[in-house]
Structure 1
Amino acid sequence: MKNWLPPTIKLALRKKRIPIFIFIVCAVLSCVLSFHKKHETAIMVMGGLLEAQCINCEEFLESNAVDFETYFRPSKLPVLNNKILSQEFLNENYDKKPEEISLPASLTDSPDNTILNYFSILRDAANPVVGRSAGCGTIGDAMAPYPISYQLLSAPFQKNLPYSDYVKTYENILHINLIKYHQVPMEAPQENMVRYFVEIETIEGSAKDTGVFAYYYGFIDLEKEENQYKISDIHYFGENFLCAPYHGWQWEAEGNVQIRYGEWCKLIKGDIRKSQKDYTIRIEFDGTDGYQYCIVFFQLTNGTDLEVAQYRKISGGSWRPIFIDLEECLENNKKTLQ
Structure 2
Amino acid sequence: MQKRNKMDITSYHQKYFRPSCLKVLNLRFNSWEFYSLFSEKTHDQIKLPPELTRTPEDTLLNYFSVLREAENMGGRSCGTVGQARTPFPIAYNFLSKEYQNKLSYDEYFNSFAGIGHTSLIKLFRVPDGKKGIKFFYEVETIEGFKGKRAEYFGYSYGFIQLIHEKEGFRISDLSKFEEDFLCAPYHGWDHDGEAVVEVKYGSWCKLIQQMYPTVITGYFKNIYFHGTDGADYCFIFVTLTNGTDVEIAQYRKVSNDMWIQVNMKPEEECLTEKRVLIPGSRLEGEINS
TM-score of the two chains, using structure 2 as the length reference: 0.86
Letter in 2 for 1:288: T
Aligned-partner SS, 1:230: strand
> Structure 1: 5+ residue runs without aligned partners?
1-59
> Equivalent residue for 1:136?
78
Q: Percent identity?
A: 44
Shift of 1:178: 0.5
Aligned-partner SS, 1:307: strand
Shift of 1:314: 5.4
Match of 2:239 among 299, 311, 332: 299
Aligned-partner SS, 2:176: strand
Instruction: Classify 1:318/1:278 alpha carbon distance in 2 versus 1 (closer, same or farther; 3 Å).
Output: same
Aligned-partner SS, 1:245: helix
Range 240-249 or range 261-270, more displaced: 261-270
Q: Where do 1:249-288 residues align within 5 Å?
A: 249-288=189-228
- On the 8 A contact 1:201/1:214 being kept in 2, the answer is yes
> Equivalent residue for 1:194?
133
> Equivalent residue for 1:39?
none
Match of 1:234 among 166, 171, 174: 174
> Equivalent residue for 2:160?
220
Instruction: Supply the distance in 1 between the matched residues of 2:78 and 2:125 (Cα, whole angstroms).
Output: 37
Match of 1:158 among 96, 100, 108: 100
Aligned-partner SS, 2:246: strand
Shift of 1:61: 7.0
Aligned-partner SS, 1:321: strand
Instruction: Supply the distance in 2 between the matched residues of 1:200 and 1:61 (Cα, whole angstroms).
Output: 35
Letter in 2 for 1:194: I
Residue 99, structure 1, aligned to residue 39, structure 2:
no
Shift of 1:293: 0.8
> Structure 2: 5+ residue runs without aligned partners?
275-289
Instruction: Supply the distance in 1 between the matched residues of 2:16 and 2:97 (Cα, whole angstroms).
Output: 39
> Equivalent residue for 1:57?
none
Residue 71, structure 1, aligned to residue 11, structure 2:
no
Letter in 1 for 2:93: Q
Shift of 1:304: 1.0
> Equivalent residue for 1:328?
268
Instruction: Supply the distance in 2 between the matched residues of 1:171 and 1:116 (Cα, whole angstroms).
Output: 22
> Equivalent residue for 1:82?
27
Instruction: Classify 1:139/1:254 alpha carbon distance in 2 versus 1 (closer, same or farther; 3 Å).
Output: same
Shift of 1:273: 2.2
Letter in 2 for 1:230: R
1:98-156 Cα deviation digits (max 9, x unpaired)? 232221212111111111111000001111215xx4x7110000111111111100001
Name the count of aligned residue pairs.
269
1:267-298 Cα deviation digits (max 9, x unpaired)? 11223320111110110111111211100111
Aligned-partner SS, 1:186: coil
Higher relative contact order (CA 8 A, sep 6+): 1
Letter in 2 for 1:158: Q
- On the 8 A contact 1:81/1:116 being kept in 2, the answer is yes
Instruction: Classify 1:314/1:152 alpha carbon distance in 2 versus 1 (closer, same or farther; 3 Å).
Output: farther
Aligned-partner SS, 1:143: coil
1:64-113 Cα deviation digits (max 9, x unpaired)? 44622011000000101112265323112112022322212121111111
